[in-house]
């Protein structure tokens, strides 16, 4: 999978929650409900019960990459087939197991975590990760949003995710570089606390060197965090299942 352009998140935007291809919350909920019904029917028909697929984040927001559970007592082959069955349903993004079990068999290059960039982009297109003025301290209002970002990133475990901090041109560039780096690191640590492995996250700051296209360098809208998936590798299970971070 090729890297996509960085996902720019402006710090002055209004709040909207939606799926990657649904424009409103009611539409997102309706889609998640349809996916839930399809997954239940497919799982029942294939005889993979008691596996269940949950199409919502931990905060209850509808989403199209489900969290699977109920397969703790199934063998590896059955878990793998159940995961692929749900992932193959039209409209479903990447999937994860609640206990952290790998999503695919070793060497299966076609079954990779997909769609996480779309979901993160939608969450952050018109929402913002905010900090205290001139500080890398996250505002309390950003914690829920970062939790939703972490949920959206879980299907991409195994990828390298870049977190890039930006500032406007106010102040010295030395200060801007340090602040942008500190803010990127703060977001990284917040994701780590929510179960995203540290070794898959890269945090860096570029100060005011890369303003948003079409904006003057001193425009406050340049103060932002960007995410991009720079590499994706297939997930390879170990011989003995080891639950991942939660």
**pTM exceeding the 0.75 threshold for the entire prediction:** no
User: Exposure string (b/e) for 201-215, b if CB count within 10 Å is 16 or more?
Assistant: bebebbbbebbbeee
Would you state the pLDDT for residue 191? 93
Task: Give the residue among 87, 92, 225 at the shortest CA–CA distance from 164.
Answer: 225
pLDDT tens across the length of the chain (246 residues): 344 444 433 333 322 333 333 334 566 788 888 999 999 999 999 998 889 998 887 667 777 778 888 877 888 788 888 888 988 888 886 677 766 554 433 333 333 444 677 777 778 777 778 888 888 999 888 888 899 888 888 877 777 788 889 988 988 999 999 999 999 999 999 999 998 888 888 898 999 999 988 889 888 888 888 887 765 554 444 333 333 333
Would you state the pLDDT for residue 13? 32
Identify the burial level of 243 via C-beta atoms within 10 angstroms of its C-beta, where 0-12 means exposed, 13-18 middle and 19 or more buried. exposed
Would you state the pLDDT for residue 62? 79
Would you state the pLDDT for residue 93? 67
CA atoms within 13 A on the CB side of 3: 12
Q: Give domain limits for the chain.
A: 7-19+115-232, 25-97
Would you state the pLDDT for residue 115? 64
CATH class, range 7-19+115-232:
alpha beta
The sign one gets for the Cα dihedral 213, 217, 220, 224 is positive
Task: Give the residue among 98, 78, 101, 85 at the shortest CA–CA distance from 40.
Answer: 85
Task: Give the residue among 173, 175, 169 at the shortest CA–CA distance from 223.
Answer: 169
User: Exposure string (b/e) for 111-137, b if CB count within 10 Å is 16 or more?
Assistant: bbbbbbbbbbbbbbeebbbbbeeeebe
């Amino acid at each position: 999978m090729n890297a996509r352009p960085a996902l720019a998140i402006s710090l002055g935007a209004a709040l909207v929650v939606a799926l990657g291809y649904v424009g409103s919350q009611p539409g997102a909920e309706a889609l998640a409900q349809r996916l839930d019904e399809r997954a239940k029917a497919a799982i029942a028909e294939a005889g993979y019960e008691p596996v269940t697929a949950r199409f919502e984040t931990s905060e209850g927001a509808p989403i199209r990459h489900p969290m699977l559970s109920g397969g703790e007592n199934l063998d590896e082959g059955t878990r793998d087939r159940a995961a692929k069955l749900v992932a193959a349903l039209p409209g479903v993004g990447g999937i994860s197991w609640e206990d952290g079990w790998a999503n695919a068999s070793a060497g299966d290059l076609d079954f990779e975590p997909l769609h996480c960039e779309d979901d993160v982009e939608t969450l952050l297109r018109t929402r913002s990760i905010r900090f205290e003025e001139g500080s890398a301290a996250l505002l309390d209002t950003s914690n829920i949003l970062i939790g939703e970002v972490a949920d959206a990133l879980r299907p991409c475990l195994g990828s390298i995710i870049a977190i890039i901090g930006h500032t406007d041109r106010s102040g010295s560039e030395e200060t801007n570089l340090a602040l942008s780096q500190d803010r990127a690191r703060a977001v990284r640590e917040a994701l780590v606390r929510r179960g995203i492995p540290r070794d898959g996250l890269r945090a860096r700051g570029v100060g005011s060197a890369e303003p948003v296209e079409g904006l003057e360098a001193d425009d406050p809208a340049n103060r932002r965090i960007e995410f991009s998936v720079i590499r994706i590798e297939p997930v390879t299970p170990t011989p003995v299942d080891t639950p991942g971070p939660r």
